[in-house]
């Protein structure tokens, strides 16, 4: 499994200011291989989330290409790309990412049933147990704290068993104990052969990483 | 707020039945002031409407679900009887074009049917509250 | 994916939004269904009245009230009692251009057994009649005998019962099919019977005639059929000149007046329907517009998890279609509850012939109302579905993180 970005960049045009555009991500080449956990750190506004979204197939790069096992993501039509993302790329976004009208358990099962698959109830229950949210099975997202919502999003991604996991600040709302649980789970996923990228400020995350990258002003150093 | 929706709707319906039964959809009135065949039906509708109004008020005042279930059940029975009042239990005038046949009977039946449905809804809502409380 | 599951959840977990959509579409369906049924019933009533009149010209006594009385009798069943000399019938028959003429005598009962009010009794000549007889023949295939009556569909009695008028017992031998006109509340008998009843009324001190004399010497209305090829207008003028103390009325003119009133009501109904639809569609578009902001984040999550744009629009349209369908069913049901139990009230309020359509036709109207409402709801939601399907999950989920 390999997610490879070749000279991808992202520009945003603006109406006012000195230049016509800002370059959120300068040309970056990056390869995420299965079985490795990569940590990407950097200040706010350095372009980490923009890079993650381009790698996830959610944001078209201004230049460059992203390949997943040789498939050019952005050459696919929306239907094919969406299906590919559902099956192979798991994203844990920075913000709140729950469907409010479904229970916690249903949210966790959702990726697996979008295309008519069999619900992975056993996997879901074991991840809920591991992340300490099994008691919230029938609760609705509006009843959860920020940390519980984050753990639900992580459980959802891990249950779906994608080949690539892209996590944007997965431990942001969590205490030390749960931070350790989450990072351990992501490390285990990497050991199981998945390509894992974790965007994080936490220095703790570096202990679990096979590789640490630093992003500043849109450039990876 | 949710728990008072059925109480409120039932109260409004019952009040409309009670007031309307001697105003808008009252029984026929003969020119000479004599009682029509449908006068008894009109009175029965008024009494039934008043009884359901009292029960609806009590559902607001009593807080316990079991008491409310009993009150809604009683309203349901009274409303079911109300559907039968004009034409079945009490006679109405025989000409199709008379006010009691054209207005009183259909309006009373529709309003009592609505009251019965709301009462049934109230019973289900209170039972659901009890179950959620136990859970 | 079994889209129905999140679709149903999205509807049930947002009861306020769902209720608003259901109510709006209910109004749409209610207006279309009710308006269509009312206008159709009026048209059927008009057609029925045209069939039942049968005559080209009706001759009534010369008093100004007679014409209005006849119209009220035909449209609303209001009791009419007016008389002219029976010799007018011969004069009418002698008039050039008249093919056939048949007389009727009107009588009002006291409160008959069947009813708490008076009923209209209409005596006719079975041997000469061409107005009532064809209609009666649909229910009774033999001549009407003395002291036998045929009742309109709204007279509350059954075939075989006795019908007591002025203490005289008449036997009900047939009940007529509905016409949607005032004739549904009338009782029909032959001339001998009506003259006996006139005499019985006089014995009770109730005088019907304007001039005293033999009861056989009066008629209330004479129905005239014009010779084929003759101009009814010319014949009408001749009758007005030839028959003293009588007025000839062209039924085409009466029908035109009724048709004009019906047209006025139809236009009013059409305007009301248009107003409801414009208002409801505007509100629908506003509600859908509000949905765009409210649901962006939720739908961004679906996109994030791999739902394609087409699937996402499909999900939103399914929600819209379900709401519209539920609302349409409610609207049609409410329309049926408001219209059919109150048919008599509508008829008496509009003062026009009113005949409800057959059940099969009503079902067709209901299907039509539901279909146009669902289509309208889906069309209103299409733009929103398209906008929402293009939500950018990366940017949207980051907002407010």
pLDDT at A86 over 80: yes
pLDDT at C16 over 90: no
Does residue B30 or residue C131 have the better pLDDT? C131
Residue corresponding to tokens 């769902």: C18
Third-level CATH fold of A2-212: Rossmann fold (3.40.50)
In chain B, what residues touch C348 (CB-CB under 8 Å)? 97, 102
- Angstrom CA distances, C68 to C55, C80, C219, C352, C381, stand at 18, 9, 17, 14, 53
Other CB atoms within 10 Å distance of the CB of residue B8: 14
The confidence score (pLDDT) of residue A18 equals 60
Closest CA to B56 of B83, B43, B74, B41: B74
pLDDT at C116 over 60: no
Which chains does C contact via 3+ CB–CB distances below 8 A? A, B
pLDDT at C209 over 70: no
Q: Do B97 and C154 touch (CB under 8 A)?
A: yes
> Using an 8 Å Cβ cutoff, are A213 and A41 in contact?
yes
Give the separation between CA C202 and CA A208, rounded to whole angstroms. Answer: 116
Q: Please count the residue pairs, one from chain B and one from chain C, whose beta carbons lie less than 8 angstroms apart.
A: 45
- Taking any CB pair shorter than 8 Å as contact, residues of chain C touching chain A are 1-2, 6, 9-10, 12-14, 297-298, 300-311, 392-394, 397-401
Beta-carbon contacts of residue C135 (< 8 Å; ≥ 6 apart): C52, C176, C177, C179
Residue C363, helix vs strand vs coil: helix
Does residue C241 or residue C4 have the better pLDDT? C241
Give the separation between CA C74 and CA C45, rounded to whole angstroms. Answer: 11
**Could you tell me the pLDDT band of residue B54, with boundaries at 50, 70 and 90?**
very high
Q: Please count the residue pairs, one from chain A and one from chain C, whose beta carbons lie less than 8 angstroms apart.
A: 89
pLDDT at C400 over 60: no
- Angstrom CA distances, C80 to A4, C76, C87, C109, C184, stand at 97, 11, 21, 11, 14
The confidence score (pLDDT) of residue C398 equals 67
Q: H/E element holding B73?
A: helix B65-84
Retrieve residue C29's tokens. Answer: 């369906």
Residue C339, helix vs strand vs coil: helix
Retrieve residue A195's tokens. Answer: 């390509």
Closest CA to C312 of C20, C1, C16: C1
The confidence score (pLDDT) of residue C52 equals 78
> Using an 8 Å Cβ cutoff, are A148 and A136 in contact?
yes
Which chains does A contact via 3+ CB–CB distances below 8 A? C
Residue corresponding to tokens 């679709």: C7
Across the range A161-181, mean pLDDT stands at 89
Q: What is the pLDDT of residues C150-200, one digit of tens each?
A: 998 888 888 998 888 888 889 999 998 888 888 888 899 999 998 888 888
The confidence score (pLDDT) of residue C2 equals 44
pLDDT at A114 over 70: yes
Residue A25, helix vs strand vs coil: strand
- Burial pattern C334-363, b for ≥16 Cβ within 10 A else e, equals bbbebbebbbbbbbbebebbbbbbeeeebe
**Could you tell me the pLDDT band of residue C83, with boundaries at 50, 70 and 90?**
confident
The distance of A191 to chain C (nearest Cα, Å) reads 23
Closest CA to B100 of B32, B44, B50: B44
Give the separation between CA A46 and CA A50, rounded to whole angstroms. Answer: 9
> Using an 8 Å Cβ cutoff, are A33 and A23 in contact?
no
**Could you tell me the pLDDT band of residue A51, with boundaries at 50, 70 and 90?**
very high
Q: What is the pLDDT of residues C337-361, one digit of tens each?
A: 999 999 989 988 888 889 999 999 9
- Whether ipTM > 0.85 holds is yes
Q: Do B96 and C156 touch (CB under 8 A)?
A: yes
Q: Bridge partners of A38?
A: A197, A211
> Using an 8 Å Cβ cutoff, are A119 and A109 in contact?
yes
pLDDT at C4 over 50: no
pLDDT at C3 over 80: no
pLDDT at A92 over 90: yes
The confidence score (pLDDT) of residue A219 equals 84
In chain B, what residues touch C115 (CB-CB under 8 Å)? 93-95
Q: Are strands A63-68 and A164-168 parallel, antiparallel or unpaired?
A: unpaired
Q: Are strands C162-165 and A211-216 parallel, antiparallel or unpaired?
A: unpaired
Which chains does B contact via 3+ CB–CB distances below 8 A? C
Closest CA to A163 of A110, A67, A87: A87
Residue A67, helix vs strand vs coil: strand
The confidence score (pLDDT) of residue A21 equals 76
In chain A, what residues touch C400 (CB-CB under 8 Å)? 95-96
Mean per-residue pLDDT of chain C: 85
The distance of B32 to chain C (nearest Cα, Å) reads 12
**Could you tell me the pLDDT band of residue C64, with boundaries at 50, 70 and 90?**
low
pLDDT at B133 over 80: no
Mutate: best of B24, B97, B112, partner C, most C CBs <10 A? B97
Q: Which residue of B has its CA nearest to C342?
A: B102
Could you tell me the residue ranges of all domains in chain A?
A: 2-212
Beta-carbon contacts of residue B56 (< 8 Å; ≥ 6 apart): B7, B10, B11, B14, B71, B75
Give the separation between CA C303 and CA A52, rounded to whole angstroms. Answer: 16
In angstroms, the first-to-last Cα distance of chain B is 21
What DSSP letter does each residue of A151-212 carry, written as one string? HHHHHHHHHH--SEEEEESTTTT--HHHHHHHHHHHHHHHHTT-EEEEE---GGGGGG-SEE
Could you tell me the residue ranges of all domains in chain C?
A: 4-47+258-398, 63-244
pLDDT at A156 over 90: yes
* Sheet of A21-33, strands arranged across: A21-33, A2-13, A63-68, A71-72
Retrieve residue B95's tokens. Answer: 């000409």
pLDDT at B1 over 50: no
3-state helix, strand, coil in chain A (%, to 5): 40, 30, 35
Q: Do C2 and A116 touch (CB under 8 A)?
A: yes
Q: Bridge partners of A41?
A: A214
In chain C, what residues touch A73 (CB-CB under 8 Å)? none
Q: Do C344 and B96 touch (CB under 8 A)?
A: yes
Across the range A27-47, mean pLDDT stands at 90
Does residue B31 or residue A81 have the better pLDDT? A81
Q: Bridge partners of A9?
A: A63
- Burial pattern C110-132, b for ≥16 Cβ within 10 A else e, equals eebebbbbbbbbbbbbbeebbbb
- Angstrom CA distances, A164 to A23, B16, B99, C96, stand at 26, 65, 76, 102
Chain B, 9-68: which have a CB under 8 Å from a chain C CB? 28, 30, 36-37
State the DSSP code for C85: E
Closest CA to A170 of C295, A191, A162, A187: A187
Q: What is the dihedral of CA A73, A79, A80, A82, to 10 degrees?
A: 60
pLDDT at C328 over 90: yes
What DSSP letter does each residue of C32-71 carry, written as one string? HHHHHHHHHHHHHHHHHHHHHH--SEEEEESSHHHHHHHH
Q: Which residue of B has its CA nearest to C341?
A: B106
Across the range A161-167, mean pLDDT stands at 95
Express as a percent the part of chain C with pLDDT over 90. Answer: 35
Q: Bridge partners of A213?
A: A40
Does residue B26 or residue C69 have the better pLDDT? B26
**Could you tell me the pLDDT band of residue C262, with boundaries at 50, 70 and 90?**
confident
**Could you tell me the pLDDT band of residue C115, with boundaries at 50, 70 and 90?**
low
Retrieve residue B77's tokens. Answer: 């029975």
CA contacts within 13 A on the Cβ side of C7: 18
């Amino acid at each position: 499994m390999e997610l490879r970005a070749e000279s991808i960049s992202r520009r945003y045009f603006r109406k006012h200011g000195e230049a016509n555009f800002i370059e959120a991500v300068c040309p970056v080449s990056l390869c995420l291989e299965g079985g490795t956990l990569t940590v990407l750190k950097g200040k706010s506004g350095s372009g980490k989330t923009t890079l993650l979204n381009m790698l996830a197939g959610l944001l078209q790069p201004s230049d460059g290409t992203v390949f997943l096992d040789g498939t050019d993501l952005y050459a696919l039509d929306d239907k094919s790309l969406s299906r590919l993302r559902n099956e192979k790329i798991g994203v844990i976004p920075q913000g709140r990412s729950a469907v409010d009208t479904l229970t916690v358990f249903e949210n966790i099962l959702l990726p697996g049933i979008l295309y008519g698959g069999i619900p992975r109830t056993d996997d879901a229950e074991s991840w809920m147990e591991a992340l300490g949210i099994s008691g919230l099975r029938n609760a609705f997202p509006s009843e959860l704290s920020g940390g519980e919502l984050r753990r639900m999003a992580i459980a959802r991604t891990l249950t779906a068993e994608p080949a690539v996991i892209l996590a944007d600040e997965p431990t942001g709302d969590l205490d030390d104990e749960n931070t350790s649980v989450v990072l351990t789970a992501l490390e285990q996923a990497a050991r199981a052969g998945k390509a894992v990228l974790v965007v994080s400020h936490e220095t703790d995350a570096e202990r679990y990483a096979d590789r640490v990258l630093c992003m500043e002003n849109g450039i990876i150093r | 707020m949710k728990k008072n929706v059925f109480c409120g709707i039932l109260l409004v319906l019952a009040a409309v039945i009670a007031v309307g039964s001697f105003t808008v959809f009252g029984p026929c009135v003969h020119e000479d002031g004599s009682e029509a065949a449908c006068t008894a039906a009109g009175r029965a509708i008024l009494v039934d409407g008043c009884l359901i109004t009292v029960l609806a008020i009590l559902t607001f005042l009593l807080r316990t679900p079991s008491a409310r279930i009993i009150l809604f059940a009683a309203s349901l029975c009274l409303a079911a009887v109300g559907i039968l009042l004009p034409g079945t239990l009490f006679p109405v005038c025989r000409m199709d074009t008379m006010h009691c046949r054209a207005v009183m009977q259909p309006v009373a039946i529709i309003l009592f049917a609505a009251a019965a449905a709301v009462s049934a809804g109230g019973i289900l809502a209170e039972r659901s509250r009890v179950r959620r409380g136990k859970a | 994916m079994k889209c129905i599951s999140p679709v149903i959840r999205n509807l049930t977990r947002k009861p306020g939004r769902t209720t608003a959509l259901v109510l709006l579409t209910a109004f749409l369906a209610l207006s279309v269904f009710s308006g269509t049924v009312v206008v159709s019933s009026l048209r059927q009533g008009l057609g029925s009245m045209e069939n039942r009149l049968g005559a080209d010209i009706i001759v009534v006594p010369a008093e100004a009230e007679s014409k209005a009385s006849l119209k009220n009798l035909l449209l609303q069943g209001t009791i009419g009692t007016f008389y002219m000399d029976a010799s007018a019938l011969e004069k009418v028959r002698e008039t050039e251009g008249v093919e056939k003429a048949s007389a009727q005598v009107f009588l009002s009962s006291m409160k008959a057994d069947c009813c708490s009010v008076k009923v209209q009794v209409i005596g006719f000549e079975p041997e000469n009649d061409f107005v009532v007889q064809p209609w009666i023949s649909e229910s009774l295939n033999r001549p009407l005998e003395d002291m036998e009556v045929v009742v309109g569909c709204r007279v509350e009695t059954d075939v075989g019962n006795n019908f007591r008028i002025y203490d005289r017992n008449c036997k009900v031998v047939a009940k007529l099919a509905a016409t949607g006109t005032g004739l549904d509340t009338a009782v029909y008998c032959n001339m001998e019977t009506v003259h006996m009843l006139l005499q019985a009324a006089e014995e009770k001190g109730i005088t019907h005639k304007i001039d005293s004399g033999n009861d056989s010497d009066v008629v209330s209305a004479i129905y005239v059929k014009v010779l084929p090829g003759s101009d009814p207008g010319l014949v009408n003028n001749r009758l007005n000149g030839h028959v003293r103390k009588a007025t000839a009325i062209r039924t085409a003119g009466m029908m035109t007046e009724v048709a004009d009133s019906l047209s006025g009501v139809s236009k009013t109904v059409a305007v009301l329907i248009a107003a409801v639809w414009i208002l409801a569609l505007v509100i629908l578009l506003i509600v859908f517009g509000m949905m765009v902001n409210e649901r962006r984040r939720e739908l961004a999550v679906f996109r994030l998890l791999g739902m394609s744009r087409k699937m996402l629009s499909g999900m939103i349209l399914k929600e819209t279609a379900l709401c519209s369908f539920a609302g349409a069913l409610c609207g049609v049901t409410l329309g049926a509850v408001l219209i059919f139990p109150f048919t008599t009230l509508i008829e008496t309020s509009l003062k026009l012939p009113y005949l409800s359509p057959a059940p099969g036709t009503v079902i067709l109207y209901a299907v039509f109302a539901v279909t146009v409402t669902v289509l309208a709801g889906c069309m209103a939601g299409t733009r929103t579905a398209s906008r929402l399907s293009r939500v950018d999950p990366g940017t949207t989920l980051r907002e407010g993180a």
